[in-house]
Structure 1
Amino acid sequence: MRKFVALIMLLSAVLTGCTQSPKNGAAPPQNVDPNHQVQVNQTAPQKKEITDPAGVAQRLEQIAGSVPNVESANCVVFGNTAVVGINVPQGMDRAKVGTVKLSVAEALKHDPYGVDALVTADMDLAERLRRVRDHVMNGRPINGFAEEMAAIIGRIVPQVPRDVVPPQTNPNR
């Protein structure tokens, strides 16, 4: 008999726990439409469309160049993306370079075009960005970009010894 009473009490506790009311004492909604959808407005600012790439590049270069310890800056804009390369004093500590790079990113964050810009302090990449920028200014944007991308990829791709084919010797020579 005790087991039966204990089982009944346990079952009633479990069933009572499954019928919880909403928190904070609120009454449950009576007429809920299962197809009702909530509309939420976008709160983050939309990325501005870049219509004048040269103007945007010049503006971002000026902003980046105004940050202390930035000797010069070069910016390349393609599509709706900007890449900013900064030059810092030679021999600067890596931690300090990271701080300067972060400062440039914070300065660009306040510009509507710079909010999504990519910032690099790598000397080689900054130089290559300068070359691409010069090609763009000289009216050769695609050709200059292709040349620099080929040079960058050529640096990244390793030379694997097993892929090297020795020159064939011609016995007739």
Structure 2
Amino acid sequence: MMAYLRFIGLCSLVACFFVGCAPENSAPKEVSPKTQKISYTERVKQTVPAPQYNKSAQDVSNRLETIAKNMPHVKDATAVSVGKYSIVGLDLEDNLDRARVGTVKYSVAEALHKDPVGARALVTADTDLVQRINNVNHDIQDGKPVSSILQELAGIAERIAPQPTKIVPKQEKPS
């Protein structure tokens, strides 16, 4: 009985060997150019970053307004840009409570800071400051003197991010 099982096991092993090693009866596959060996001397196309152009202050303001308007709970936005700095005023939905206003304002500020031109933007939802920003926009369009516009923007920026009242003078190291 043992010899019979060995004989059957040996026969099945030989049969599996011949069946497994039999050539496939199909036409030879053509080698496509993509599957051919790639030489290491081929050059890969490099991507070039988009050129950075100096945009006008109005273009920057329009871009920041668009980003702010696309945020949830923002009805309207207005922005003023001077150099690298911008001030963005938000007109939010009327039914928002104070905590939600702060959250929306923070979300807009975060979205603006992710944008390269909005990295230094101050954001406010105070209705008085938003009206003042609108007035500054109208003054710029009307061609008012730059000095008065800059003074108004400085006042707005100071109300958004007030300076510390107590300034500690730098101590000199004894020599």
Bin for the TM-score computed over the shorter chain: 0.5 to 0.7
Moved more, 133-142 or 94-103: 133-142
Q: Secondary structure at the match of 2:139?
A: helix
Residue 134 of structure 1 pairs with residue 117 of structure 2: no
Alignment of 1:1-16 (within 5 A): none
**What code does the residue aligned with 1:130 have?**
N
Instruction: Quote how far apart the aligned CAs of 1:95 are.
Output: 0.3
Q: Which has the larger radius of gyration?
A: 2
Instruction: Quote how far apart the aligned CAs of 1:137 are.
Output: 2.1
1:137-166 CA-partner distances (Å, limit 9, x unpaired):
2222526626846997xxxxxxxxxxxxxx
**What code does the residue aligned with 1:78 have?**
V
CA contact (8 A) 1:49 1:80 kept: no
Aligned to 1:96: 100
Aligned to 2:83: 79
CA distance in 1, matches of 2:146, 2:134: 14
Aligned CA distance change for structure 1 residues 67 and 49 (closer, same or farther; 3 Å): same
Aligned to 2:127: 123
Instruction: Quote how far apart the aligned CAs of 1:110 are.
Output: 2.2
Alpha-carbon RMSD: 2.7
Aligned to 1:157: none
Unaligned runs of 5+ in 2: 1-51, 157-175
CA distance in 2, matches of 1:135, 1:83: 15
Residue 62 of structure 1 pairs with residue 59 of structure 2: no
Instruction: Quote how far apart the aligned CAs of 1:51 are.
Output: 4.3
Instruction: Quote how far apart the aligned CAs of 1:122 are.
Output: 0.8
Q: Secondary structure at the match of 2:119?
A: helix
Instruction: Quote how far apart the aligned CAs of 1:90 are.
Output: 2.4
CA distance in 1, matches of 2:124, 2:143: 25
Equivalenced residues, count: 106
Aligned CA distance change for structure 1 residues 50 and 130 (closer, same or farther; 3 Å): farther
Aligned to 1:114: 118
Unaligned runs of 5+ in 1: 1-47, 153-173
CA distance in 2, matches of 1:75, 1:112: 16
